[in-house]
Amino acid sequence: MSLNLRPATSGDDLVLADLWRRAVEATHDFLSPEDVDFYAGHIRDVYLPALKVTVAEFDGAVVGFVGTQEHRLEMLFVEPDAHGRGVGTALVEHVAAQHPVLELDVNEQNPAARGFYASLGFEVVGRSPLDGEGRPFPLLHLRRSVNPSA
């Protein structure tokens, strides 16, 4: 199976929102079902339309996506059964090919995601006690530079 990366279309919104929910429910055990519902309402209607989204597919099936704004990875989600198959890495490297410096926020309470980003060379450069919605889910601010002086 080969991985194909392509720009998202408006027809992808429901598929990506559903993928987001499955990925979050599998990896964000610190969120209650009510928290997931709160964020789900924003994903399709607010976040996805505001971002440049790249979709990853294995044999035509959507298995992940990354949403960016310039050099910032605003969201990266992979189908739980596709974890460990290089989807997330391919999406990050796709963005990195266009931006030598990458930044993102990751939930402090998500050790698997923190480990994934550390394995790709991201370093913690700051911390916020609240998430972008002002909710009590601390964020770590990460940065990776192809050129260490950048």
Per-residue pLDDT of 107-150, as tens digits, reads: 999 999 999 999 999 999 999 999 888 889 999 999 998 754 44
Continuous H helices in the chain: 13-27, 33-42, 48-50, 87-96, 111-119
- Report the predicted TM-score, pTM, of the whole model to 2 decimal places: 0.90
Question: Can you say whether residue 4 is alpha, beta or left, with left for phi > 0 and alpha for psi between -120 and 50 degrees?
Answer: beta
Per-residue pLDDT of 39-94, as tens digits, reads: 888 888 888 999 999 999 999 999 999 999 999 999 999 999 999 999 999 999 99
